[in-house]
Amino acid sequence: MDTTQSRNKDLSLEKHVTALMTILAEVHGEDQLVLKAGKLDSLELLQSDKIEDRILALERLVHDDPTIVDQRTPEEAVQVLHELEDHLADLMARRAVEEQLEQKVSAKMQERHLEYIKEVRMQVLKEAAGPDNAQTLKKYAELEMLEKRSLSKTAADLMRPQRLEEVVGQDEAVKSLLTKLSSPFPQHVLLYGPPGVGKTTVARLALQYAKEKEYTPFSADAPFVEVDGTTLRWDPREVTNPLLGSVHDPIYQGAKRDLADGAVPEPKLGLVTEAHGGVLFIDEIGEMDPVLQNKLLKVLEDKRVFFESSYYDPHDPQIPKYIHELFTKGAPADFLLIGATTRDPSEISPALRSRCAEVFFNPLTPQDIVEIVRSAAKRLGVQLAPGVAELAAEYTIEGRRATRLLADAFGVALYRGGRQGELEITKADMQEVIQTSRLSSYVPTKASSTKEVGRILGLGVVGYVGSILEIEAVAFPSREPGKGQVRFNETAGSMAKDSVFNAASVFRALTGEELSNYDVHVNVVGGGNIDGPSAGVAILAAIISAVKGLPIPQDIAVTGEISLRGKVKAIGGLHAKIYGAKQGGVRKVFVPAENMDNLPPAVEGVEVVPIEHVQDFLQQIFPQGLRTEPAALVAR
């Protein structure tokens, strides 16, 4: 009976161990279980016929502990197997939970993967289609339609000279500029002259001329960069500088996104680099900020622009090569500077003048304006009635304004019913434009063939434009000898007033009489401001004429400073003054002998006479002499 019970008990243990081993094989897998048994030195025990060995192997496998060596008695084996059941239950439960978690993780990963694929597809579609949408595409279509609309070429563009030979009245200036530009060693140039005489046009055409010469350094694609000095704005902190260039720091000024993300400063190149290899033309250069002018001079010396930034790190591997190049070597800026100004040379920076050759453009004469209007009419394809060009020349000395008057008259002629192909602009058309523009004659004072007492024509200049000054004087015997007064209009300026007092002293030396015996009133008609002493000779002649009753020819003009000893001293602005005299119809101009070396080329229709002493001039206008009794003390 005991044997049967023992056998049954062993059989029960055998089945129990087999069941647990089967479960363990299912958990780990048979192959993995064999490998694990080998690692735990339990493979022989697992294959043993003894139930004790298999239980020991089962213990090692469940607890994953090869140090378990104690054999179990049958009584202990049952307890051990129950413990192993608990361990296997925990293991299976944990494995079940892990499998559930793995399934959930796999599902989530699959979901995220699908979302990622969707995002990638959307990005690909977006890149293929671009950033546009229906609204932006509509705006783009509207912009394209606007681009298709255009007006005809403006009248100003059509009438502008297209060749140097078409520029009127500036032969000397054109030649001078070409000799400085069309050379193996071209020079920086400053162009002086009044507005509207062709400075900008000549500068453009001069570069085209220079490109055609083999010996000049200008290539066929040499750029002509044009900018107005009055519009050049810059920040002293170098935040912005369109002329020289600046650096956009990544934080404050917003460099490109790819550079800002890496805190890389971005240099912005200026006009001086854009003009590299060509011409940088700065109109109204005299209006530029003086500090900016000095910075420009540094660029002219170095022929490069250098950039600085506290954000620049030369060792940063993320900085592109071109930015390293700009910060280490600078940007090329080897160009020719042509600056144009309406200011007097004395108002331009001496440092800038010292680096530039100087070319002076003459004021346009009425004959020049007539030629400009006629040439512009040919380009416009219209006929001019007799006197139209001459009428325009009476109201302007600017070529730009003359062509604008012609364009306005062209519109008036079309409005009254003219046909463009057969159009003729009449004097009435031009007169209507002049009246609607509220223009007045540019030469209010004109010479005549008469003679007058106490009236003489002097010459003045404003900027580069000369004009005739009408100076008149009247004289009356004073009520008490020696208590006469000299009056002078204050608006003519303090230097002109000084000229009156100088003339009073010279009057006594020449005539032997005291001017204090007369009440004298000297007037510059129109209150013109005389900013220099050049009216001295004219004022003296007017006073003598008024006191002595001597008539003065009205087709002559005189300019010159008078010293207390009667010397006629040199004056400035002689070129402009002679051109101004010609515009007023003066046939003879008396100038200081000291200025004869600075005379402009012969001006057709004007005789220039040098005088060293005031007596030289007075003898020519008063051939009868000065020591005569006053005949008429009031100008008539």
Angle (deg, nearest 10), helices 494-511 and 614-621: 70
Q: What is the DSSP string of 266-331?
A: EEEE-HHHHTTTSEEEEETGGGS-HHHHHHHHHHHHHSEE----TT--TT-TTS-HHHHHHHHH-E
Q: Which has the closest alpha carbon to 240: 263, 262, 266?
A: 266
The encoded tokens of residue 155 equal: 């009248």
In this prediction, residue 553 carries a pLDDT of 92
Q: Are residues 356 and 415 in the same domain?
A: no
Rounded CA Rg of the chain = 51
Q: Based on the number of CB atoms within 10 Å of its own CB, is 137 exposed (0-12), middle (13-18) or buried (19 or more)?
A: exposed
Question: Looking at the domain assignment, is residue 289 inside a domain?
Answer: yes
Asked if 465 contacts 363 with a C-beta cutoff of 8 angstroms, the reply is yes
The residue segments making up the domain with residue 199 are 164-360
pLDDT at 74 over 60: yes
Distance CA 374, CA 200 (A): 21
- Residue 369 carries which side chain, given as an amino acid letter? I
- DSSP run (H or E) holding 452: strand 451-453
Confidence bin at 513 (pLDDT 50/70/90): confident
DSSP 85: H
Percent of the chain with pLDDT over 90: 22
Please count the structural domains in the chain.
4
- What proportions of the chain, in percent to the nearest 5, are helix, strand and coil? 50, 15, 35
Q: Are residues 178 and 261 in the same domain?
A: yes
Q: What is the DSSP string of 55-67?
A: HHHHHHHHHT-TT
Residues facing 460 on adjacent strands: 467
Q: Are residues 210 and 259 in the same domain?
A: yes
pLDDT at 579 over 90: no
Q: Are residues 477 and 407 in the same domain?
A: no
Q: Are residues 355 and 457 in the same domain?
A: no
Question: Looking at the domain assignment, is residue 255 inside a domain?
Answer: yes
Q: Are residues 346 and 411 in the same domain?
A: no
- DSSP run (H or E) holding 159: helix 155-159
The catalytic position among 180, 199, 548, 577 is 577
In this prediction, residue 250 carries a pLDDT of 67
Confidence bin at 627 (pLDDT 50/70/90): low
Q: Are residues 473 and 504 in the same domain?
A: yes
Distance CA 203, CA 164 (A): 10
Confidence bin at 636 (pLDDT 50/70/90): very low
Question: Looking at the domain assignment, is residue 607 inside a domain?
Answer: yes
Mean pLDDT computed over 353-369 = 89
> In terms of pLDDT, which residue wins out, 500 or 530?
500
Region of poorest pLDDT, from 72-86, 304-318, 347-361: 72-86
- Residue 476 carries which side chain, given as an amino acid letter? F
Asked if 601 contacts 579 with a C-beta cutoff of 8 angstroms, the reply is no
Q: Are residues 199 and 315 in the same domain?
A: yes
CATH number of the domain at 607, please.
3.30.230.10
Q: Which has the closest alpha carbon to 266: 316, 326, 317, 306?
A: 326
Q: Which has the closest alpha carbon to 10: 70, 68, 81?
A: 81
- Residue 574 carries which side chain, given as an amino acid letter? L
Q: What are the C-alpha distances in Å from 22 to residues 34, 357, 504?
A: 12, 108, 142
Reduce the DSSP state of residue 370 to 3 states and report it.
Answer: helix
Q: What are the C-alpha distances in Å from 425 to residues 65, 100, 194, 397, 405?
A: 119, 99, 28, 20, 11
Other CB atoms within 10 A of residue 392 CB: 28
Tell me if residue 246 is catalytic: no
Contacts of 197 (CB under 8 A, 6+ apart): 169, 170, 361, 362, 363, 364, 398, 399
Question: Looking at the domain assignment, is residue 209 inside a domain?
Answer: yes
Percent of the chain with pLDDT over 70: 86
Question: Looking at the domain assignment, is residue 140 inside a domain?
Answer: no
Mean pLDDT computed over 604-631 = 78
Q: 0.85 cut: is pTM over it?
A: no
CA neighbours within 13 Å on the CB side: how many for 610?
10
Of 45, 74, 98, the domain-final residue: 98
Asked if 523 contacts 535 with a C-beta cutoff of 8 angstroms, the reply is no
Residues facing 424 on adjacent strands: 383
The encoded tokens of residue 317 equal: 């591997």
Other CB atoms within 10 A of residue 299 CB: 24
Q: Are residues 326 and 381 in the same domain?
A: no
Of 53, 75, 98, the domain-final residue: 98
CATH number of the domain at 182, please.
3.40.50.300
Token pair 């020591």: residue: 627
CATH number of the domain at 392, please.
1.10.8.60
The encoded tokens of residue 67 equal: 């140090």
Tell me if residue 534 is catalytic: yes
Distance CA 322, CA 256 (A): 14
In this prediction, residue 530 carries a pLDDT of 60
In this prediction, residue 495 carries a pLDDT of 60
Is the CA virtual torsion 107, 110, 114, 116 positive or negative? Answer: positive
Q: Which has the closest alpha carbon to 464: 407, 532, 391, 397?
A: 397
Q: Are residues 184 and 260 in the same domain?
A: yes
Asked if 319 contacts 376 with a C-beta cutoff of 8 angstroms, the reply is no
Counted residue by residue, the chain has a size of: 636
Across the chain, what does the average pLDDT equal? 82
Q: Are residues 575 and 467 in the same domain?
A: yes
Question: Looking at the domain assignment, is residue 175 inside a domain?
Answer: yes
Q: What is the DSSP string of 105-138?
A: HHHHHHHHHHHHHHHHHHHHHHHHH-S--HHHHH
Q: Are residues 266 and 321 in the same domain?
A: yes
pLDDT digits (tens, 9 = 90+) for 169-178: 888 899 999 9
The encoded tokens of residue 367 equal: 């004959």
Question: Looking at the domain assignment, is residue 105 inside a domain?
Answer: no
Distance CA 3, CA 9 (A): 10
Mean pLDDT computed over 258-279 = 80
Strands (E), 353-408: 357-360, 383-384
> In terms of pLDDT, which residue wins out, 550 or 135?
550
The catalytic position among 375, 534, 545, 548 is 534
pLDDT at 281 over 90: yes
The encoded tokens of residue 63 equal: 């607890």
Question: Looking at the domain assignment, is residue 423 inside a domain?
Answer: yes
Distance CA 109, CA 113 (A): 6
Of 389, 413, 436, the domain-final residue: 436
